[in-house]
């Protein structure tokens, strides 16, 4: 019983209870199903807050750990091992926070097969929480792959016209990366004798050349998920076809699984390789930043624009991670959250207008700020957050990342050149270009389309889905201390570990 | 006495002839006989080796093979008969409804 | 041989002799049971299997019997339990299926019992003669069963194809045995091992050639490329209940024999065989998965899928020559057989539920709309597809994990890479079934067949539950040790 | 170095955050009660908020005076703390920042009040009264952001305000976002401003990164304390810091080469132009350099660069101002030019002169813009008057024609004006005050501040001095030209004839500003130097020495004579013989193609458009359409991977269709299926083929074993 009631088990598996309840409801009881899903996800969020309450921010180590032997035969050393630390607590909270919001956003948008939808959605939440909490590579992989399944259905059943193609592409692309990781995980299990992440880190001692191969295998899986340029080709398809709530979760949480993977596994498990690969990863990140920004600008479909902007934003995250100093890494973690909030909100907003007009072509809009002032104002704030306006959340992340990356370019830093941060900072200009372009296309200018003149402004439910996000957008922008406070000791420890391990390897 | 290689060589030739028969002939009965030829080639090898090693177990094996072959014949022939009844043909190439 | 010895020997073979005896009794009983009450036959067959299963579970230890012709060890017990349990499921499935297809004939169950007897014997064989006998004992009833839907043309065609090719393959097995006999002067495992150890060989290449021919014959049963070509046609043409049984039973028996023979007789020849196994495994995984994509008939698609899985199983055999890995080789193979078997029965249950007379209802498109109309069934099918594709949280994933570990432990990274890449390809066609079920519209009609439904649900739940409780299966599989001679 | 802790300083300083909070409260109220309050209440709330900020600024000044000018840092809230990076929301109260606070909130409040009247008419004119509260929300937001900018105690907090005011600028330029050229012109102008500013911000960001890793902090106090030491240890880095900072300055203060956004920014309502694009925001760059004086003084290279940029800008944009017809565009280019003066001053190290000019410029340029707004609305009223009559008198058919004309009519074009001094006397007089102040005629404010800059330049940097003098000549000329074109001669159009004076709510702030523009010179009157002594507290604190030059009659006389001469020249061209309707500009006769260049702004926009914007758009489309989609998404993923895969499997299949290469299937699914379909042809259905496969397998295996 204690095991079941452990907060981490609860927060991970509580949505299953909702699934169970929904299973007993009829397909036609749509509202009941929606309420069950919403309440379940809200309770889950509450549990995650309880986790936060029990979390000791000054402790850099894993906390609230569960470590039960799971499969201990035939040379297997697999544990059911969960734990939370400064690297993951915020992502856990982001997951549980975005899920109810997404569910709320589907209230009228999803009217077909509501039951199935909510079941998949709650299952997805289980998978995502599990990914962020698992501390055993085997368990992690189980959760990691498991998230594919519900997302696959969410895209494939409730998506746009080309949904099946997008769903299969999403699944295969991600799986293609993760199977390589699977082999690397197996290698670690065989040669290090354990799958437990803390133990593997403590043990270390993987030869440098092997580290590099393992790093590549893990990195492939994560880079596809992030997605890093040039492995991003699945993203526009998946995003454009996915239903709004799916896009929110996809951008908000699923992509973070990739960056989190780098943070949790690639850096501490293979420190020498990480230091060696840092310039390469940084180059890819910077290309991603600039490329994503340029390509976003040339889109005509607003959802695609936002999708490509994710490539740019996550480029910043990757750059911060591979700056391998506290500023860069903390900025990167914060930017993961920021991107979840801002891009999540953008997708929600795009979904709202799509629900009204059934198109996302920017040429079909224009002048909406006049017709729907509230919608315009909210979008403006989110747009500004996304382009990193100081005072809002995006700036804090981008600034610290760039600052960190610049520092990593100093002598003694892992990047060894200021060009990375310099070029990445150009992305700040380009972000303004495409974001303002989008805002202008949708909201400014005269109302040129007759259909747009009678658009209704946001209703209370829609405002309620956006406002919580806005609260955090302002909060993080103005007073990020609590957020940094949660991650600081863990990041400090991790960075020190990577550096000392990499240094120790030097002749 | 002839060296063992001769016997084994003969059995190998027989075996290959049987196998080629299966590949080339179209009549179900003939194919079936070719399979029997392959089994008997093996039997020859068994007997030859048994004699070489001066042991009975090879001979015993031949009996087993023959018994099993008989069982196969029973099943095989009845299948062929059934097919012939239904389709009026024993040409193996006519049995290609399922493919791909 | 003393009488006492004979007694213990019989005890070793008791489950098998009981089963075969029971089958013979049923043969008589069939005469007295009216055609309308074939349910009785099914029940009796199930009873026989259950008793045999209980007897098997009571066996333990590791003994040679009948002068070293058969062996009782953890490995054989594991396999016998697998065979008997799958027999029970096969009876249950057949009961519903035959009823709906109007094929109710008591001989079906009798043939099934005999074939299971052959499989059990295969698992226990310690002499090449027994291998051959077991092979034929399990095959001949299957030939007949394949044509059981007579006068359906496809069924007959399947039977004759299976029969001809099976006999052709048997020829290679027999000739292989002859060559091994020629090399060592004996057919008993102990004798062969002794001869190899003492290097008392007539001609070492005879042994190698014999081993190769054995590999071919058994590979044929297990549907390894390029000896696989009978599989799609036979799976397609045979009554689906037979296919379901065959897809697990014949494959498992083939691999049981391969494991036993290669791990005990030919570890020293691994330099010769490992590259061959490597190539065969790679080819099998690749071809099975690729051609499956082109299939529009679910039975054929699953046939190719079963070929692909033979490839994965064979992959685990590749490092058989590494001393210290033999335990993992057999355990991972057996574990995967269980995972595959569970998935297999589940999937075929669903196929049978949707099948209609005269081969209707087997096209992939007939699954359209299943997700909407039969959510539970579609969900189970999704689990099976994911398990086949090796996606967590299903047992198929755990099985593949173990297989890949074994391969990596042997150091065959490229083979593992091919394995994971082909499973990526496989995900494509497995997912397509899911796509069709959930994302296309249609009006499928499921049979009201309680056993079939139960089988689908139970296996689906089992696949998920056992993922989290896989420790039990791991323990069991890793204790299924081969006797060393 | 001792820094007065807030605890030891008067509690008065704790009020400083309210300088930001008041405007925020104001805008919040206006958001909450959006559309439920009358226009007057909305305007009053906003003006009061701004006024309260002014009160705080005054209190701060008083507090500082009590505190002997000692700088104070008031921490408010922790912000970003990571390792050595310690950024807070903290307020820097010193004499420099207080001057800025006073100017911003003082001028700001006046413009708020003016806007109550102006926007009342403007929303009617634009036909969208719902926008009225929004204007004041943005206006208050601007004051708040500007306050953050000038009070921030670190570069990062300054940057918050820096970008924040940029945002307000964007929002207010595009305030009438459905108007302008093609209905989108205003929005595009706003976007241009933001993006060009972001280019500058890029420089600022890099400067901050450099600063942090060189100085270990971004707080002014810490950075300035270490400036001498760091400048010694790594001079290159410090030069780079100043140069990148200069890039930021060129963006925000509209200097070469990034000045192009400011003229377009005139698309905003006139109070916006006055407040943001003349008096306050654009001077932020000057403030930044003055603020960073402790760094700049150590690197002459950086200082020179700044001075040159300022000097060149001053002259370059003055030439453009000469060729403009739009009343606001003239002022816009004049603003750029005057900003050039200030930047040149602070660049040369004449920080006090720069700040002095900043203040007086805030007065007279705000005055000029607001008066111009008054002129424009006067013209619009005249136009409205005519339309009204047309409505009464004319038939419906003619009305349509009239409307068309009305659409074409530009109330900002000086060629449409003339003789307005009779219709709008108050506006005329205040405008004249502003113009004369700007032209640098004694004893108005502009004379003193500009003279001080010229004086310093004559000592410190002769080439820049020459540039500035030339610019000053042009300044007097174009202001003369404007006065004569707008207010003298005969009305050239009907609306000009019927133009009406503005209401007191607009004219009273104008009069106050005119007063300030007239007497503003007293702030730093030669010999008394109040401002210099005031600012010295701060500069001395950071160990920046201010050298005060004695008043030079020679320089002053020269510039006065030159100013008067060019006004006279303007009179000869435009006053003596006023422009007739449809007549070309007399300068065109004289200057020919040069005037065309001035008129066309030397084609800078076009060049940028051609060199940068079009190229970027092309690149973006190329990347998105060709590289990402057609090449990477379609071709590579769906063709190459599949084709390679096909070729590979082709080798494996025995009976491949050899009759030509099959058309490569389109799409992943189809392509893979085509491959699979090829392979499935192996499965012929013939038993003998199956046996052949087995046999071949046997042969290959046996062959391998035998011939290995």
C chain contacts of residue D685, beta-carbon cutoff 8 Å: 233
Judged by a CB distance cut-off of 8 A, whether residue D681 touches chain B is yes
CA R_g for chain B: 17
Q: Which residue of C has its CA nearest to D688?
A: C165
Ranges of residues in chain D with a pLDDT under 50 are 1-8, 396-406, 650-669
- Say whether pLDDT at C467 is over 70: yes
> Rounded CA gap, C254 and C242, in Å?
17
Query: Cβ–Cβ of A294/D623 closer than 8 Å?
Result: yes
Coil, helix or strand at residue D178 = coil
> Rounded CA gap, D47 and D55, in Å?
12
Contact yes or no, B with C (3+ CB pairs under 8 Å):
yes
pLDDT for D646: 59
Judged by a CB distance cut-off of 8 A, whether residue C266 touches chain D is no
Residue B17 lies in a domain: yes
B chain contacts of residue C132, beta-carbon cutoff 8 Å: 64-65, 68
Query: Cβ–Cβ of B92/D688 closer than 8 Å?
Result: yes
Query: Cβ–Cβ of A156/C435 closer than 8 Å?
Result: yes
Peptide linkage before C235 cis (omega within 30 of 0): no
Nearest beta carbon to residue C438 from set A73, A156, A176:
A156
Query: Cβ–Cβ of C132/B64 closer than 8 Å?
Result: yes
At C376, list the tokens.
């539970």
Residue C32 lies in a domain: no
Nearest to B13 by CA among B53, B58, B44: B44
Test the B interface: residue of D688, D689, D699 with most B CBs within 10 Å: D688
- The secondary structure of residue D501, as a DSSP letter, is P
pLDDT for C246: 92
Query: Cβ–Cβ of C294/D683 closer than 8 Å?
Result: no
**Length of chain B measured in residues:** 100
Query: Tens of pLDDT along C377-435?
Result: 999 999 999 999 988 889 999 899 889 999 998 889 899 999 988 888 888 889 888 88
Nearest chain C Cα distance for residue A177, angstroms: 10
Residue C481 lies in a domain: yes
- Say whether pLDDT at B60 is over 70: yes
Judged by a CB distance cut-off of 8 A, whether residue B97 touches chain D is yes
Contact D163, A390 (CB under 8 A): yes
Residue B77 lies in a domain: yes
Contact D459, D451 (CB under 8 A): no
A chain contacts of residue D160, beta-carbon cutoff 8 Å: 390-391, 395
- Say whether pLDDT at B1 is over 60: yes
> Rounded CA gap, D172 and D170, in Å?
6
pLDDT for D393: 53
**Length of chain C measured in residues:** 485
Query: Cβ–Cβ of C475/A141 closer than 8 Å?
Result: no
Judged by a CB distance cut-off of 8 A, whether residue D621 touches chain A is yes
C chain contacts of residue A116, beta-carbon cutoff 8 Å: 371, 375
- The secondary structure of residue A415, as a DSSP letter, is S
Residue C355 lies in a domain: yes
Query: Cβ–Cβ of D688/B97 closer than 8 Å?
Result: no
Nearest beta carbon to residue D633 from set A233, A407, A429:
A233
Per the structure, the complete domain to which residue B24 belongs is given by: 4-95
Query: Tens of pLDDT along A158-204?
Result: 888 888 888 888 888 888 888 889 999 999 988 888 889 988 888 88
pLDDT for D675: 65
Judged by a CB distance cut-off of 8 A, whether residue A363 touches chain D is no
Contact A185, A141 (CB under 8 A): yes
Q: What is the torsion angle, in degrees rounded to the nearest 10, for the CA atoms of residue C307, residue C312, residue C313 and residue C316?
A: 150
On the 0-12 / 13-18 / 19+ scale of CB atoms within 10 A, A67 is middle
- Say whether pLDDT at A504 is over 90: no
Nearest to D347 by CA among D393, D314, D375, D381: D314
Q: Which residue's structure tokens are 């224009």?
A: A366
Residue C441 lies in a domain: yes
Residue A372 has phi, psi (to 5 degrees) of -125, 80
D chain contacts of residue A233, beta-carbon cutoff 8 Å: 628, 632-633, 636-637
pLDDT for B26: 84
Judged by a CB distance cut-off of 8 A, whether residue A205 touches chain D is no
- In the complex, which subunits touch C with 3 or more CB pairs below 8 angstroms? A, B, D
Report the number of distinct structural domains present in chain A. 1
CA dist D623 to A291, A443, D199, D473, D629, Å?
8, 26, 22, 49, 8
> Rounded CA gap, A289 and A286, in Å?
5
Judged by a CB distance cut-off of 8 A, whether residue B75 touches chain D is no
A chain contacts of residue D80, beta-carbon cutoff 8 Å: 396, 399-400, 480-481, 484
Judged by a CB distance cut-off of 8 A, whether residue C331 touches chain A is yes
Test the A interface: residue of D27, D35, D79, D82 with most A CBs within 10 Å: D82
Contact D248, D204 (CB under 8 A): yes
Query: Cβ–Cβ of A165/D667 closer than 8 Å?
Result: yes
Strand partners, A196: A136
Mean predicted confidence (pLDDT) in A83-107? 92
Contact yes or no, A with D (3+ CB pairs under 8 Å):
yes
Residue A1 lies in a domain: no
How many residue contacts between A and D have a Cβ separation below 8 Å? Answer: 156
CA dist D707 to C275, D699, D702, Å?
14, 11, 8
Contact yes or no, A with B (3+ CB pairs under 8 Å):
no
- The secondary structure of residue B94, as a DSSP letter, is G
C chain contacts of residue A163, beta-carbon cutoff 8 Å: 439
Per the structure, the complete domain to which residue A429 belongs is given by: 272-500
Contact B69, B6 (CB under 8 A): no
Query: Cβ–Cβ of C187/B61 closer than 8 Å?
Result: yes
Q: What is the torsion angle, in degrees rounded to the nearest 10, for the CA atoms of residue A424, residue A425, residue A428 and residue A434?
A: -40
Nearest to A431 by CA among A395, A406, A467: A395
pLDDT for D6: 45
Report the number of distinct structural domains present in chain B. 1
Helices (H), C294-412: 298-317, 326-354, 370-373, 375-389, 395-409
> Rounded CA gap, C108 and C102, in Å?
13
Top pLDDT among D442 and A83 is at A83
Judged by a CB distance cut-off of 8 A, whether residue C430 touches chain D is no
Nearest to D690 by CA among C229, C221, B34: C229
Q: Which residue's structure tokens are 């063992």?
A: B4
The enclosing domain of B62 has a CATH number of 1.10.287.3510
- In the complex, which subunits touch D with 3 or more CB pairs below 8 angstroms? A, B, C
Nearest to C224 by CA among C144, C307, C146: C307
Judged by a CB distance cut-off of 8 A, whether residue D631 touches chain A is no
In which element (H, E) is residue D86 found? strand D85-93
Q: Average per-residue pLDDT in chain A? A: 89
Nearest chain B Cα distance for residue C458, angstroms: 33
- The secondary structure of residue D283, as a DSSP letter, is G
Contact D541, D398 (CB under 8 A): no
Strand partners, A66: A82
pLDDT for B100: 67
Contact D688, B93 (CB under 8 A): yes
Mean predicted confidence (pLDDT) in B31-52? 91
Q: What is the largest CA-CA distance in chain C?
A: 70
Coil, helix or strand at residue D242 = helix
Query: Tens of pLDDT along A303-351?
Result: 989 999 999 999 999 999 999 888 999 999 999 999 999 999 999 999 9
Contact A41, A103 (CB under 8 A): yes
> Rounded CA gap, C433 and C439, in Å?
10
In which element (H, E) is residue C64 found? strand C63-65
Query: Tens of pLDDT along C216-263?
Result: 999 998 999 888 888 988 999 899 999 999 999 999 999 999 999 999
Contact B19, D695 (CB under 8 A): yes
Residue A69 has phi, psi (to 5 degrees) of -60, 140
Per the structure, the complete domain to which residue C336 belongs is given by: 269-485
DSSP codes joined into one string, C77-97: HHHHHHHHHHHHHHHHHHHHH
> Rounded CA gap, A378 and D461, in Å?
51
Nearest chain D Cα distance for residue C216, angstroms: 7
Q: Which residue of C has its CA nearest to A164?
A: C435
Q: Which residue of B has its CA nearest to C156?
A: B83
- Decide the pairing of beta strands A78-84 and D85-93: unpaired
In which element (H, E) is residue D458 found? helix D445-460
Residue C62 lies in a domain: no
At A449, list the tokens.
């389309």
Judged by a CB distance cut-off of 8 A, whether residue C408 touches chain D is no
Q: Average per-residue pLDDT in chain C? A: 89
Report the number of distinct structural domains present in chain C. 1
Share of residues in chain A with pLDDT > 90 (%): 44
Judged by a CB distance cut-off of 8 A, whether residue C212 touches chain D is yes
**What is the pTM (predicted TM-score) of this model?**
0.88
Q: Which residue's structure tokens are 């391990």?
A: A501
Nearest chain A Cα distance for residue D84, angstroms: 9
* Sign of the alpha-carbon torsion through D71, D77, D78, D79: negative
DSSP codes joined into one string, B65-80: HHHHHHHHHHHHHHHH
Q: Which residue's structure tokens are 């040379």?
A: A75
Residue B100 lies in a domain: no
- Decide the pairing of beta strands C70-72 and A78-84: unpaired
Strand partners, D72: D4, D93
Residue D72 has phi, psi (to 5 degrees) of -130, 140
């Amino acid at each position: 019983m204690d095991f079941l009631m452990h907060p981490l088990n609860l927060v991970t598996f509580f949505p299953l209870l909702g699934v169970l309840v929904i299973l007993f409801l009829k397909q036609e009881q749509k509202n009941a199903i929606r309420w069950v899903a919403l309440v379940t996800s809200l309770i889950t969020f509450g549990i995650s807050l309880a986790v936060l309450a029990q979390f000791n921010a000054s402790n850099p180590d894993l906390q609230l750990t569960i470590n039960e032997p799971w499969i201990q035969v035939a040379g297997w050393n697999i544990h059911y091992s969960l734990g939370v630390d400064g690297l993951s607590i915020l992502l856990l909270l982001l997951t549980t926070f975005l899920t109810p919001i997404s569910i709320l956003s589907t209230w009228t948008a999803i009217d077909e097969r509501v039951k199935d939808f909510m079941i998949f959605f709650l299952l997805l939440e289980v998978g995502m929480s599990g990914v962020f909490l698992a501390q055993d590579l085997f368990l992690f992989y189980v959760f990691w792959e498991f998230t594919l399944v519900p997302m696959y259905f969410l895209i494939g059943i409730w998506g746009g016209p080309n949904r099946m193609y997008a769903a299969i592409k999403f699944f295969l692309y991600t799986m293609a990366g993760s199977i390589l990781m699977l082999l690397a995980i197996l290698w670690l299990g065989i040669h290090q004798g354990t799958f437990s992440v803390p133990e593997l880190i403590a043990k270390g001692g993987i030869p440098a050349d092997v580290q590099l191969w393992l790093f590549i295998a893990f990195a492939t899986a994560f880079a596809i998920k992030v997605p890093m340029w040039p492995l991003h080709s699945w993203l526009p398809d998946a995003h454009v076809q996915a239903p709004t709530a799916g896009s929110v979760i996809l951008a908000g949480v699923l992509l973070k699984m990739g960056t989190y993977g780098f943070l949790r596994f690639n850096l501490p498990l293979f420190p020498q390789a990480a230091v060696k690969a840092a310039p390469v990863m940084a180059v890819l990140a910077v290309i991603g930043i600039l490329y994503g920004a340029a390509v976003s600008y040339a889109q005509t479909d607003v959802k695609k624009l936002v999708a490509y902007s994710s490539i740019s934003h996550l480029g910043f995250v990757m750059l911060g991670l591979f700056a391998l100093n506290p500023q860069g890494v903390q900025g990167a973690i914060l930017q993961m959250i920021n991107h979840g909030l801002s891009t999540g909100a953008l997708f929600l907003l795009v979904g709202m207008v799509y629900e009204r007009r059934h198109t996302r072509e920017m040429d079909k809009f224009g002048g909406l700020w006049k017709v729907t002032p509230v919608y315009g104002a909210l979008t403006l704030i989110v747009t500004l957050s996304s382009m990193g306006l100081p005072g809002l959340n995006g700036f804090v992340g981008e600034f610290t990342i760039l600052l960190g990356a610049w520092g990593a370019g100093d002598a003694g830093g892992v990047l060894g050149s200021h060009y990375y941060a310099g070029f990445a900072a150009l992305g700040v200009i380009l972000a303004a270009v495409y974001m303002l372009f989008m805002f202008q296309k949708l909201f400014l200018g005269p109302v040129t389309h007759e259909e747009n003149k009678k658009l209704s402004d946001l209703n209370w439910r829609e405002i309620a889905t956006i406002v919580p996000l806005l609260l955090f957008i302002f909060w993080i922008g103005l007073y990020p201390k609590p957020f940094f406070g949660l991650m600081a000791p863990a990041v400090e420890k991790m960075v020190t570990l990577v550096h000392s391990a990499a240094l120790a390897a030097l002749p | 006495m002839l060296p063992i290689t001769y016997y084994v060589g003969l059995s190998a030739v027989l075996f290959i002839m049987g196998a080629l028969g299966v590949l080339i002939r179209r009549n179900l009965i003939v194919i079936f006989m070719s399979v029997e030829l392959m089994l008997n080639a093996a039997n020859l090898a068994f007997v030859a080796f048994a004699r070489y090693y001066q042991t009975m177990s090879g001979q015993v094996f031949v009996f087993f093979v023959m018994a099993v072959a008989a069982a196969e014949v029973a099943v095989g022939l009845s299948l062929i008969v059934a097919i012939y009844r239904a389709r009026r043909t024993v040409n193996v190439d006519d049995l290609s409804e399922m493919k791909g | 041989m003393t009488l006492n010895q004979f007694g213990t020997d019989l005890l070793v073979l008791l489950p098998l002799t009981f089963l075969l005896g029971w089958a013979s009794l049923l043969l008589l009983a069939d005469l007295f049971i009216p055609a309308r009450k074939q349910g009785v036959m099914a029940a009796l067959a199930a009873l026989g299997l259950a008793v045999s299963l209980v007897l098997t579970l009571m066996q333990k230890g590791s003994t040679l019997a009948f002068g070293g012709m058969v062996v009782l060890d953890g490995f054989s017990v594991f396999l016998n339990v697998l065979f008997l349990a799958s027999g029970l499921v096969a009876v249950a499935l057949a009961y519903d299926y035959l009823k709906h297809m109007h094929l109710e004939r008591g001989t079906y169950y009798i043939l099934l019992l005999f074939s299971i007897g052959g499989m059990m014997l295969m698992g226990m064989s310690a002499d090449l003669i027994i291998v051959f006998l077991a092979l034929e004992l399990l095959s001949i009833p299957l030939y007949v069963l394949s044509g059981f839907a007579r006068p359906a043309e496809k069924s007959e065609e399947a039977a004759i194809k299976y029969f001809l090719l099976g006999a052709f393959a048997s020829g290679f097995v027999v000739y292989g045995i002859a060559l091994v006999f020629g090399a060592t002067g004996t057919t008993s495992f102990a004798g062969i091992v002794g001869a190899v150890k003492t290097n008392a060989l007539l001609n070492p290449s005879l042994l190698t050639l014999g081993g190769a021919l054995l590999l071919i014959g058994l590979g044929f049963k297990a549907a390894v490329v390029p000896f696989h070509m009978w599989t799609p046609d036979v799976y397609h043409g045979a009554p689906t209940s037979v296919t379901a049984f065959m897809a697990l039973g014949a494959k498992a028996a083939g691999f049981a024999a391969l494991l036993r023979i290669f791990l005990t007789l030919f570890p020293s020849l691994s330099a010769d065989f490992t590259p061959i196994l490597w190539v065969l495994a790679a080819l099998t995984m690749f071809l099975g998965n690729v051609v499956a994509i082109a299939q529009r008939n679910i039975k054929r698609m699953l046939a190719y899928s079963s070929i692909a899985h033979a490839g994965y199983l064979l992959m685990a055999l590749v490092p058989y020559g590494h001393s210290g890995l033999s335990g993992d080789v057999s355990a991972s193979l057996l574990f995967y057989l269980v995972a595959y078997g569970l998935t297999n029965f589940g999937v075929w249950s669903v196929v049978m539920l949707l099948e209609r007379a005269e081969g209707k209802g087997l096209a992939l498109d007939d699954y359209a709309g299943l997700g909407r109309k039969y959510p539970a069934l579609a969900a189970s099918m999704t689990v099976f597809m994911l398990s086949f594709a090796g996606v967590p949280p299903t047992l198929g994933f755990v099985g593949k994990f173990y297989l890949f570990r074994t391969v990596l432990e042997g150091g065959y990274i490229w083979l593992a890479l091919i394995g994971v890449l082909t499973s990526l390809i496989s995900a494509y066609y497995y997912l397509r079934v899911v796509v069709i079920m959930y994302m296309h519209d249609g009006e499928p009609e499921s049979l009201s067949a309680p056993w079939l439904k139960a089988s689908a649900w139970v296996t689906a739940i089992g696949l998920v539950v056992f993922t989290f409780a896989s420790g039990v299966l791991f323990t069991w599989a890793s204790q299924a040790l081969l006797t060393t001679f | 170095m001792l820094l007065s802790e807030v605890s030891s300083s008067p509690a008065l300083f704790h009020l400083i955050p309210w300088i930001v909070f008041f405007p925020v409260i104001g805008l919040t109220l206006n958001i909450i009660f959006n559309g439920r309050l009358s226009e007057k209440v909305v305007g009053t709330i906003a003006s009061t908020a701004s006024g309260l900020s002014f009160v705080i600024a005054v209190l701060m000044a008083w507090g500082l005076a009590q505190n002997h000018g000692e700088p104070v840092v008031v921490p408010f809230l922790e912000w970003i703390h990571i390792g050595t990076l310690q950024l807070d929301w903290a307020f820097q109260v010193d004499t420099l920042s207080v001057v800025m606070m006073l100017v911003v909130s003082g001028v700001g409040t006046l413009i708020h009040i003016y806007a109550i009247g102006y926007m009342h008419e403007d929303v009617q004119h634009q036909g969208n009264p719902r926008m009225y509260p929004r204007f004041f929300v943005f206006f208050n937001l601007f004051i708040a952001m500007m306050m953050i900018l000038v009070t921030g105690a670190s570069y990062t907090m300054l940057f918050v305000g820096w970008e924040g005011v940029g945002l307000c600028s964007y929002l207010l330029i595009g305030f009438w976002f459905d108007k302008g050229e093609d209905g989108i012109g205003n929005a595009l102008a706003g976007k241009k401003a933001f993006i060009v500013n972001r280019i500058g911000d890029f420089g600022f960001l890099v400067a901050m990164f450099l600063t942090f890793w060189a100085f270990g902090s971004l707080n002014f106090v810490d950075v300035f304390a270490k400036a001498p030491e760091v400048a010694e240890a790594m001079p290159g880095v410090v030069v780079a810091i100043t140069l990148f900072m200069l890039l930021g300055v060129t963006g925000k203060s509209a200097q070469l080469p990034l000045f192009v956004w400011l003229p377009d920014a005139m698309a905003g309502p006139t109070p916006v132009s006055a407040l943001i694009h003349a008096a306050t925001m654009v001077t932020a760059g000057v403030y930044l350099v003055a603020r960073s004086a402790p760094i700049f003084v150590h690197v002459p290279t950086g200082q020179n660069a700044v001075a040159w940029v300022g000097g060149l800008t001053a002259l370059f944009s003055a030439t453009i101002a000469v060729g403009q017809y739009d009343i606001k565009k003239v002022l816009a280019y004049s603003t750029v030019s005057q900003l050039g003066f200030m930047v040149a001053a602070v660049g040369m190290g004449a920080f006090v002169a720069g700040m002095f000019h900043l203040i007086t410029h805030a007065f007279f340029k705000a005055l000029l813009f607001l008066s111009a707004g008054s002129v424009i609305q006067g013209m619009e009223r005249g136009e409205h008057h005519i339309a009204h009559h047309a409505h009464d008198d004319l038939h419906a058919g003619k009305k349509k024609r009239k409307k068309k004309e009305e659409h074409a009519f530009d109330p900002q074009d000086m060629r449409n004006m003339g003789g307005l001094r009779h219709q709008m006397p108050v506006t005329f007089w205040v405008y004249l005050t502003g113009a004369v102040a700007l032209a640098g005629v004694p004893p108005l404010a502009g004379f003193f501040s500009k003279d001080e800059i010229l004086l310093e330049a004559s000592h410190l940097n002769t080439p820049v001095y020459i540039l500035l003098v030339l610019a000053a000549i042009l300044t007097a000329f174009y202001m003369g030209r404007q006065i004569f074109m707008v207010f003298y001669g005969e009305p050239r159009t009907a609306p000009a004839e019927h133009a009406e004076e503005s209401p007191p709510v607009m004219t009273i702030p104008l009069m106050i500003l005119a007063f300030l523009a007239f007497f503003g010179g007293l702030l730093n009157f030669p010999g008394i130097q109040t401002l210099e002594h005031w600012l010295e507290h701060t500069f001395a604190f950071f160990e920046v020495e201010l050298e005060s030059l004695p008043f030079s009659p020679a320089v002053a006389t020269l510039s006065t004579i030159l100013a008067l001469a060019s006004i006279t020249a303007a009179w000869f061209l435009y006053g003596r013989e006023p422009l007739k309707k449809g007549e070309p500009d007399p300068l065109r006769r004289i200057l020919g193609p040069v005037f065309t260049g001035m008129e066309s702004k030397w084609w800078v926009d076009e060049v940028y458009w051609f060199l940068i914007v079009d190229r970027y758009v092309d690149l973006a489309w190329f990347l998105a359409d060709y590289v990402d989609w057609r090449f990477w998404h379609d071709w590579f993923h769906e063709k190459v991977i599949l084709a390679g895969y096909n070729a590979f499997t082709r080798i494996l299949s025995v009976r491949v269709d050899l009759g030509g290469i099959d058309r490569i299937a389109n799409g992943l699914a189809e392509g893979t299926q085509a491959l699979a379909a090829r392979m499935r042809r192996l499965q012929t259905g013939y038993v003998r083929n199956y046996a052949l496969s087995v046999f071949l397998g046997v042969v290959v295996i046996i062959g391998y074993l035998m011939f290995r």
